[in-house]
Amino acid sequence: MIQPNPDLAVGARRLASWNTPARRRESFRSLHMIHRRGLSFRAPLVLPLRHDEDPVLASLPGISALMSDPAFCTLVIVQDGRIVLERHAADFAADRLHSIQSVTKSFVHLALGRLIAEGKIDPLHPIADYVPAPGDAYARASVQQALDMNVPSNFEEDYAAPYSPPPANGAPVGYARQEIAMGWRLPPADEAEFGVRSFAAGLVAGPAGNDNVTRYASPNTDMLGWIIEQASGRPLSSHVEGIVAAAGLESSFHISADCDGVPVLSGGGVMTARDLARYGLLIARGGAGVDGSEVGSAPFLADAMSGAGTSYGGSPQLRYRNHLMSNGTWAGHPGFAGQFLMVDPAKRAAAAFFSVLETEFGDRDGYFAAIISALSAALQRLD
C-alpha cells in the first residue's frame, strides 16, 4: 500500500512531522529537501568577505548569552566586506544551509521598493488595481496596508489552528492551512492542493480594529508577490534571481515553490548565515547590487525606518513598515523559531542569526527581545 510522505504527515498536535520539536533543528537545515517543490539560484559574482574580527563583540553580555543558549546555531556579523564576528554551534558550520523562515518576507521590501521607485506601483492604490481578483480580504485594502501588515482578515498566524477540515466561509483560518499552500505539508486526503495566491484570495475581510497595530499575516506577503509580478510583467522568480545576483551570494539560495511554481516569499528561503549577512548588506545599501543593478530603493528603506507603519508586538519602539521591522536605527525581520536579520545602514553592517527553539510551537517568552537587544548592541559598537 502506498503511504504518504512521513515528513509531510500531520501529527496529533497539527504540526507537520518535520516541524515537531524533536526534528525541527535538523529539518531547518534540510527544508530545501523536505518541501515538495523548490527553486534554486546562484549569483554570477560573489561579494568577498574577509575575517577581521572585533574580539570584544563575542564577550558582550547579550551576544554571549545567545551563543550559550541551547537553541543557538550560528551568528555572523559583517561590516562592509569584513566578518567582524562569526560563531557556530558544535553541530553547525559556515557552509551549512538553514531555513530563514519569515526573513524571506524582506525580499518583498526590495522588489516592491524598486517598482515604486520606477513608478510602476503606487503604494496608496488599492491592491485590486494590480491584481484583478484579490478576494474579499484584499479587494479594498491598499498596497501600503499589506506592506505594513495592516489588512484585517480571517487569517490567524496560529500554529496550533486546525489543519482539517477546511474552515467554513469567514471562519478563522490558521497557519496550518497556509503550509498546505506552501508545499510544506500534504493536503487532507479528500482535498485538492492549492497555491499561495488562491489561498490569500480566499480570505475574508475582518473588522477594521486598531489601524496602528501590526496584524501579522503571511498571506499579505504572497499577495504582494503577486502584485510585484503583475506590475512588472515579469515572473516573481526573476525578481528573486535578480536579488540573489545583486547580493553576491556565495552558495545556492533555495526557496520553496507552491503547486503553481510561485516562489514562497512568505517563508520559503534557505541559505547560509554568511549569505544572509551578504543579503543584509544589500538591504543596508538600499538595494544597490554588487553587479551594478538596483533591486531596491534607498528612499523606501528610509521610509521603513521613519517611524511610520504599525506598532509591532505592542512595543512603542518597534514599527512594521514596508515589510521590515525597525526601531529607527536598524531594520530587519524575524523568522519562526529563532531566526533574525538585522541591518544598520549608517554602519554599513548586518547581523545574521540562526537558532532553533525546540518548544512545541517554536516560541519562548522574551527570546526575540533578547535577540534584538543583543544584535543591536553589537551593531551599535561598530565604527
- What does the pLDDT look like over 323-375, one tens digit per residue? 999 999 999 999 999 999 999 999 999 999 999 999 999 999 999 999 999 99
Given this model, what pLDDT does residue 159 score? 79
Q: Which of the pair, 211 or 340, is modelled with greater confidence?
A: 340
Contact 21, 264 (CB under 8 A): no
Whether 2 shows a pLDDT value over 80: the answer reads no
C-alpha span between 226 and 54 (Å, rounded): 42
The C-alpha cell at 266 is 512568505
Average pLDDT, stretch 45-74?
A: 97
The yes-or-no verdict on residue 8 having pLDDT over 50 is yes
Q: For the ranges 10-14, 151-155, 366-370, which has the lowest average pLDDT?
A: 10-14
Which DSSP string corresponds to 177-195? HHHHHHTSSPPPTTS----
Name the β-bridge partners of 76. Answer: 86, 352
Cβ neighbours, 10 Å, residue 53: 14
| pLDDT above 90 coverage of the chain, percent | 86
Closest CA to 368 of 323, 338, 341: 338
**Residue 304 near residue 324, CB atoms below 8 Å:** yes
Q: Averaged over 78-84, what is the pLDDT?
A: 97
Question: Can you give the pLDDT at residue 9?
Answer: 62
Instruction: Encode pLDDT of 120-135 as tens digits.
Output: 999 999 999 999 999 9
At 12 the pLDDT is 46
Tell which residue, 304, 313, 326, 307, has the closest CA to residue 367: 313
Q: Which residue in 179, 173, 176, 175 sits closest to 202, CA to CA?
A: 173
Pick the CATH number of 6-121+234-381 from 3.30.460.80, 3.40.50.720, 3.40.50.1970, 3.40.710.10: 3.40.710.10
The CB-based long-range contact list for 371-375 (8 Å cut-off, 24+ gap) reads 371/66, 371/334, 371/338, 371/340, 372/318, 372/340, 372/342, 373/62, 374/60, 374/62, 374/63, 374/65, 374/66, 375/62, 375/63, 375/77, 375/330, 375/332, 375/340, 375/342, 375/351
Q: Which of 151, 90, 182, 158 is nearest to 361 (CA)?
A: 158
Query: What's the pTM?
Result: 0.96
Angle separating helix axes 106-117 and 236-247, nearest 10 degrees = 100
pLDDT of res. 234: 98
Q: Which of 159-163, 189-193, 258-262, 301-305 has the lowest mean pLDDT?
A: 159-163
Return the exposure string of 314-334: e unless at least 16 CB atoms fall within 10 Å of the residue's CB, then b.
eeeebbbbbbbbbbeebbbbb
pLDDT (mean) for 243-265? 98
Query: Which residues on neighbouring strands pair with residue 16, listed in sequence order?
Result: 10
Average pLDDT, the chain: 95
What does the pLDDT read at residue 15?
Answer: 82
pLDDT given at position 13: 55
